[in-house]
């Protein structure tokens, strides 16, 4: 049975039971990022980005995109779709291949929007977790989205409909079979009644899954935990209350993995109240996946990126961190990046960048 006890994350003083192996600070594992690596499309906003080594020994990046003619935030709600790009090396550059999870009609729970892909594999099955939503009618025209932005009725309808889904395939090339219903829904009357988003599955070798997710509360963003004895579900909450709640501030976009001795987590620090830098990454660890402690130092990565040509640039955004795991070991950090002074509304271009990681 998949049973875990409940404890929420706190400060570096609330120490969980951990494994015996010392953890190298995540920020010390970062190597210079390759200039020209990652994935970009000039005519699309590109966001998210999760990579895996396919059965063909090439590297496949699953990302979200929507037309650049649309404003960033409103456009993601109305038009985002999950795509696949490919490269011969983890660093890329990645070349667009296909739309993997396109719009499929407003009658489907994920019929109008797919986003937040994170790709995993157990045995011979690829697991593509994502968020999806729908709204009534046809997709709005670009001019209408530009005029009304987030006030657009389709945006107002779409956001509270966001749920977490799963698509599976026996090949990284598909075909992909989507679950006809979300694998995780909101819970009316509970802390996670508004939305469930940012899926962060930790898939075990036996096919069982710990599924971390985000919801919004009047007190701010909180992270919860569900689980399943098999990736196909059913998924049930392993805690009634949030399990990842930093006393110092809010985080989102978690990624969780088992390092062979204990769990590790990276996530985006919303306002810099946890790691000291607005929009940078947080690093934490846990012995059981429930009771967590911040690492020392707590910062996982900075928005200031070192490149392999010797330059350093500060990104306006560096979000949705995802790791490429090879033989159970993280080898590359992928993150959605945006230019500008910060904030979605100030980006003029977005892409997915990749940062190689040193071996521990």
Tens of pLDDT, residues 280-325: 999 999 999 988 999 999 999 999 999 999 999 999 999 999 999 9
Please tell me the predicted confidence (pLDDT) of residue 77: 97
Sorted by where each begins, the domain ranges of the chain are: 1-30+209-302, 38-182+317-360
Which of 121-135, 244-258, 320-334 is the least confident region?
244-258
Q: What gap in Å lies between CA 248 and CA 211, rounded to an integer?
A: 23
d(CA 288, CA 304): 32
Task: Grade residue 209 by pLDDT with cuts at 50, 70 and 90.
Answer: very high
Place of tokens 């935030």: 73
Give the pLDDT band of residue 244 (cuts 50, 70, 90): confident
CA 104 to chain centre: 23
Strands 95-101 and 304-306: unpaired
pLDDT band for position 170 (cuts 50, 70, 90) = very high
Sign of CA dihedral 35, 41, 44, 49: negative
Query: How far is residue 12 from each of residues 77, 290, 291, 292, 301, measured CA to CA in Å?
Result: 36, 15, 12, 9, 18
Q: Are 175 and 183 in contact (CB under 8 A)?
A: no
0.75 exceeded by pTM? yes
Chain centroid, CA 241 distance in Å: 21
């Amino acid at each position: 049975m998949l049973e875990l006890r409940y404890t929420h994350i706190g400060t570096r003083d609330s120490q969980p039971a951990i494994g015996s192996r010392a953890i190298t600070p995540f920020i010390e594992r970062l190597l210079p990022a390759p200039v020209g690596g990652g994935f970009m499309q000039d005519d699309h906003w590109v966001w998210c980005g999760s990579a895996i080594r396919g059965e063909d020994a090439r590297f496949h990046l699953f990302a979200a995109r929507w037309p650049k003619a649309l404003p960033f935030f409103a456009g993601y709600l109305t038009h985002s779709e999950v795509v696949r790009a490919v490269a011969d090396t983890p660093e890329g550059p990645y070349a667009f291949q296909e739309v993997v999870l396109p719009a499929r009609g407003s009658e489907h729970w994920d019929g109008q929007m797919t986003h937040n892909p994170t790709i995993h594999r157990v045995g011979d099955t690829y697991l593509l977790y994502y968020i999806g939503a729908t709204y009534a009618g046809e997709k709005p025209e670009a001019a209408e989205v530009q005029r009304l932005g987030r006030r657009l009725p389709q945006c107002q309808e779409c956001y509270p409909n966001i749920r977490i889904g799963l698509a599976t395939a026996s090949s990284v090339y598909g075909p992909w079979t989507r679950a006809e219903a979300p694998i995780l829904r909101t819970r009316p009357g509970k802390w996670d009644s508004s939305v469930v988003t940012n899926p962060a599955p930790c898939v075990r070798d036996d096919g069982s899954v710990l599924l971390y997710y985000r919801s919004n509360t009047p007190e701010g963003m909180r992270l919860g935990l569900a689980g399943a004895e098999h990736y196909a579900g059913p998924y049930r909450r392993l805690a009634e209350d949030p399990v990842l709640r930093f006393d110092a501030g809010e985080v989102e976009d978690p990624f969780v993995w088992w390092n062979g001795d204990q769990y590790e987590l990276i996530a985006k620090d919303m306002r810099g109240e946890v790691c000291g830098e607005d929009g940078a990454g947080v690093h934490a660890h846990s012995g059981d996946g429930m009771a967590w402690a911040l690492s020392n130092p707590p910062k996982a990565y900075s928005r200031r990126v070192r490149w392999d040509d010797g330059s350093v640039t500060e990104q306006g955004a560096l979000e949705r961190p995802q790791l490429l795991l090879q033989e159970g070991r993280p080898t590359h950090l992928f993150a959605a990046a945006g230019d500008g002074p910060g904030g979605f509304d100030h980006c003029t271009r977005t892409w997915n960048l990749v940062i190689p990681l040193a071996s521990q």
